[in-house]
């Protein structure tokens, strides 16, 4: 039932009592809410649960709820008083008349805290005749008051009132996801995906390798030892304990060294012993192709054997150290005579030294580089060291004769041969210190090559020709290989084999101080005209040897057996060879020619002139310097000249050297020239 009071039905005294009653009721409700809030703050109900309610963890939070509760309570009481006054001024039954701007002002913030807004009450509902006329059982509906809790939004930085505790909780409660993000970078890194596209897809089925060089897949190969009693070893070197196996013994091969010089054999009747034997001493025959191999592959190819490591109980054989960065220590850069350098200068080449005539007379030897020292001999019988950066003289060492042979450097020691004399020098920065000086049996005929503690050099002509091996640490300890009957070229060094070219071509065991073991002699190569070149791994064989004869023919041989697999005729004298991954580069007869390592087919020919020292190569470029001072940088793939603009106005007596971006050229006008390529 609806009661609509009129203004005259309620006396002023009753109206005043009603206002007081409502005000008291509202105040009690507000104070009760504040008390509940105070209890919640003090007991931690406003926060996330904590492991303990010990009071000692609360002091840090006490100022926040105390100040806020006090301020909020004061503000709420102000709003309550305002609402009570407003109610007191209302006319019963009339709507609340509160302008919009006043309502907005009541909600504005003060000191960074939004004041609580007390909603205006709706029209009062009562009996028409006043309270005394209310029907029994009916109740006058009290004023409905809604209180909105304060909201704190972005308090100013300068305010002294801290932000509400519940506004701080997201920052404190969830720091881990933000901090942990840098700790889990792996899923975003692409590295694990990189190896996948680089894996050779044909690995499982073996179709891609050339038929003559299949992938090693393990298993066994049947073989027979050579027709003479054969010395075998417990490890892949003749430094290990040896025993003898009778001729023509059947064996099974179960592994090899990476270059295939040695194979692991077993299964001699009545013994379970395994042993290592040189590949040249076994005849592999009567084998079948393994499953998945190309139908035209060679079933007797030792490439099918898996690489095996020697017994771990054996003392490892010594291995040579690498060439220091930017050094050029030997006549053909490395002990394999490959002419393959880590890099070549980029075009265009520009002259970089301004120092000229560093010697009293013209230079007559190839150039070598060791650290900051550029080394070459002059016809004034002096051996010079020039500064790599400026070209100025660092020191000079007097010789009793000049030499056209390239110096050799190992472990910072310089080895030089002139006539019959040999010297070992220590570069001391501004001087050279003599370590030892010794004599050869005859005049030197080749530059030094170096393997570990051994120097190898050709000495003598005709019937006096020989290869001399000298201990670096004791030059009086020597061995000589006397079979050559002609000038010995600079030998090439393989894994544990040294290749000697003269009137014939020989492969000797590198451990010449243990025994002078001739591994093989080529039946096809005579009168070697240029230093042989060794390469492993090969393209057709596990290890390959390239050698030129005096008739202008290049021979490609299996370095482990001496078997020839192609020849290429240049049609003129050959002075040097160089090799990269795909090609053999032949210098001679005024041209530079590239032929395929696979079959010897001609790839291109470029007329350049007489090449001094030999080509220097990478997989992408070839560099040659000619006797007349021409400098040519060519594309290795097609022979196109990339840079031929530079030319030294002098005769070039020996091979150049490369040091990083720098090209160094000796000349007969007393100057070593330096050219630098683009970065």
Q: What distance in Å separates the CA atoms of residue 172 and residue 187, rounded to the nearest whole number? A: 27
The CA-to-CA distance between both ends of the chain, in Å, stands at 101
Burial call 472-484: b when 16+ CB within 10 Å, e when fewer: beebeebbebebb
How far out from the chain centre does Cα 486 lie? 47
Angle at 53 between CA 49 and CA 58, to 5 degrees: 90
Q: At 27, is the pLDDT very low, low, confident or very high (cuts 50, 70, 90)?
A: low
Nearest Cα to Cα of residue 299 among 309, 307, 289: 289
**pLDDT greater than 80 at residue 644:** yes
Return the sign of the alpha-carbon dihedral for residues 279, 282, 288, 291.
negative
Residues 6 or more apart in contact with residue 264 via CB below 8 angstroms: 236, 253, 254, 255, 256, 274, 275, 276, 305, 308
**pLDDT greater than 50 at residue 420:** yes
**pLDDT greater than 90 at residue 549:** yes
The pLDDT assigned to 266 comes to 93
Query: pLDDT for 483-524, tens place per residue?
Result: 999 999 999 999 999 999 999 999 999 999 988 899 999 999
Nearest Cα to Cα of residue 92 among 124, 114, 131: 124
Query: pLDDT for 347-380, tens place per residue?
Result: 999 999 989 899 999 999 999 999 999 999 999 9
The pLDDT assigned to 667 comes to 97
Query: pLDDT for 97-118, tens place per residue?
Result: 444 444 444 444 444 444 344 3
Q: Looking at the DSSP assignment, which residues form a beta bridge with residue 282?
A: 225
Q: At 593, is the pLDDT very low, low, confident or very high (cuts 50, 70, 90)?
A: very high
In this predicted structure, which of 45-54, 236-245, 471-480, 551-560 has the lowest mean pLDDT?
Answer: 45-54
**pLDDT greater than 80 at residue 611:** yes
Average pLDDT of span 565-574: 96
Contact 387, 380 (CB under 8 A): no
**pLDDT greater than 90 at residue 544:** yes
The pLDDT assigned to 619 comes to 97
The pLDDT assigned to 73 comes to 46
Q: Which residue has the higher pLDDT, 88 or 557?
A: 557
Average pLDDT of span 302-321: 92
**pLDDT greater than 50 at residue 601:** yes
Q: What share of the chain is helix, strand, coil (3-state, %, to 5)?
A: 15, 30, 55
Average pLDDT of span 37-64: 45
Neighbours of 242 (CB within 10 A): 13
Query: pLDDT for 479-489, tens place per residue?
Result: 999 999 999 99
The pLDDT assigned to 81 comes to 46
Q: Which residue has the higher pLDDT, 355 or 579?
A: 579
The pLDDT assigned to 273 comes to 85
The pLDDT assigned to 292 comes to 80
DSSP 8-class letter at 517: -
Residues 6 or more apart in contact with residue 171 via CB below 8 angstroms: none
Structure-block tokens of residue 57: 């963890």
Residues 6 or more apart in contact with residue 134 via CB below 8 angstroms: 3, 126, 127, 140
Whole-model pTM?
0.69
Structure-block tokens of residue 574: 């050959």
**pLDDT greater than 90 at residue 188:** no
Q: At 119, is the pLDDT very low, low, confident or very high (cuts 50, 70, 90)?
A: very low
Question: Which spans in 398-529 are helix H?
Answer: none
Structure-block tokens of residue 257: 């060294």
Q: Which residue has the higher pLDDT, 33 or 378?
A: 378
Q: Which residue has the higher pLDDT, 281 or 149?
A: 281
State percent of the chain over pLDDT 90: 63
Q: At 157, is the pLDDT very low, low, confident or very high (cuts 50, 70, 90)?
A: very low
Burial call 94-107: b when 16+ CB within 10 Å, e when fewer: eeeeeeeeeeeebe
**pLDDT greater than 90 at residue 95:** no
Q: What distance in Å separates the CA atoms of residue 479 and residue 473, rounded to the nearest whole number? A: 14
Structure-block tokens of residue 475: 């030059």
């Amino acid at each position: 039932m609806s009661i609509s009071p009129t203004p005259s039905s309620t006396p002023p005294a009753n109206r005043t009592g009603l206002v007081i009653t409502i005000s008291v009721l509202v105040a009690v409700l507000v104070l009760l809410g504040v008390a509940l809030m105070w209890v919640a703050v003090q007991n931690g109900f406003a926060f996330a649960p904590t492991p303990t309610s010990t009071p000692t963890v609360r002091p840090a939070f006490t100022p926040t709820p105390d100040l806020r509760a006090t301020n909020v309570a004061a503000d709420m009481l102000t709003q309550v008083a305002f609402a009570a006054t407003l109610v007191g001024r209302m006319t019963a039954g009339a709507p609340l008349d509160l302008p919009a701007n006043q309502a907005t002002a009541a909600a504005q913030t003060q000191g960074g805290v939004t004041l609580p807004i007390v909603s205006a009450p709706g029209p009062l509902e009562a009996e028409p005749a006043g309270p005394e006329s209310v029907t029994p059982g009916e109740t006058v509906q009290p004023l409905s008051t809604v209180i909105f809790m304060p909201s704190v939004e972005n308090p100013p930085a300068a305010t002294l009132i801290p932000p509400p505790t519940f506004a701080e909780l997201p920052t404190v409660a969830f720091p881990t996801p933000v901090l942990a993000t840098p700790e889990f970078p792996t899923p975003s890194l692409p590295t694990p995906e990189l190896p996948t596209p680089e894996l050779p897809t044909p690995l499982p089925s073996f179709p891609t390798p050339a038929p003559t060089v299949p992938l090693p897949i393990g298993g066994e190969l049947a073989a027979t030892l050579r027709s003479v009693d054969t010395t075998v070893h417990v490890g892949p070197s003749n430094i290990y304990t040896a025993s003898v196996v009778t001729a023509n013994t059947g064996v099974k091969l179960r592994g090899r060294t990476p270059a295939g010089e040695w194979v692991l054999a077993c299964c001699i009747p009545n013994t379970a012993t395994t042993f290592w034997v040189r590949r040249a001493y076994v005849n592999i025959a009567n084998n079948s192709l393994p499953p998945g191999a190309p139908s035209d592959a060679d079933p007797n190819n030792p490439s099918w054997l898996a690489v095996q490591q020697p017994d771990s109980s054996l003392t490892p054989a010594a291995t040579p150290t690498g060439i220091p960065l930017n050094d050029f220590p030997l006549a053909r850069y490395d002990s394999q005579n490959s002419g393959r350098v880590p890099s070549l200068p980029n075009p265009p080449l520009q002259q970089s030294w301004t120092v000229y005539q560093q010697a009293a007379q013209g230079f007559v030897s190839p150039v070598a580089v060791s650290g900051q020292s550029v080394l070459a001999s002059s016809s004034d019988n002096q051996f010079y060291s020039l500064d790599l950066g400026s070209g100025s003289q660092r020191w000079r060492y007097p010789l009793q004769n000049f030499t056209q042979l390239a110096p050799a450097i190992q472990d910072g020691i310089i080895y030089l041969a002139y006539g019959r004399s040999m010297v070992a020098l220590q570069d001391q920065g501004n001087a050279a210190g003599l370590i030892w000086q010794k004599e050869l049996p005859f005049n030197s005929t080749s530059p030094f090559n170096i393997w570990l503690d051994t120097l190898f050099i050709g000495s003598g002509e005709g019937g006096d020709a020989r290869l001399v091996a000298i201990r670096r640490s004791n030059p009086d300890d020597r061995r000589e290989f006397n079979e050559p009957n002609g000038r010995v070229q600079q030998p090439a060094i393989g894994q544990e084999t040294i290749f000697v070219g003269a009137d014939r071509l020989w492969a000797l065991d590198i451990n010449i101080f243990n025994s002078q073991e001739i591994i093989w002699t080529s039946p096809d190569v005579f009168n070697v005209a240029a230093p042989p070149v060794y390469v492993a791994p090969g393209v057709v064989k596990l290890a390959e040897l390239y050698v030129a004869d005096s008739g202008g023919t290049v021979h490609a041989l299996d370095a482990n057996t001496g078997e020839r697999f192609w020849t290429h005729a240049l049609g003129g004298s050959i002075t040097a060879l160089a090799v990269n991954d795909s090609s053999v580069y032949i210098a001679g007869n005024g041209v530079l020619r590239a032929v395929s390592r696979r079959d010897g087919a001609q790839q291109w020919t470029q007329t350049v002139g007489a090449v001094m020292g030999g080509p220097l190569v990478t997989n992408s470029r070839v560099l040659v310097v000619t006797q007349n001072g021409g400098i040519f940088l060519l594309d290795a793939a097609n022979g196109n000249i990339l840079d031929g603009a530079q030319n030294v106005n002098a005769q070039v007596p020996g091979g150049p050297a490369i040091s990083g971006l720098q090209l160094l050229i000796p000349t007969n006008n007393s100057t070593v020239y330096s050219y630098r390529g683009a970065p």
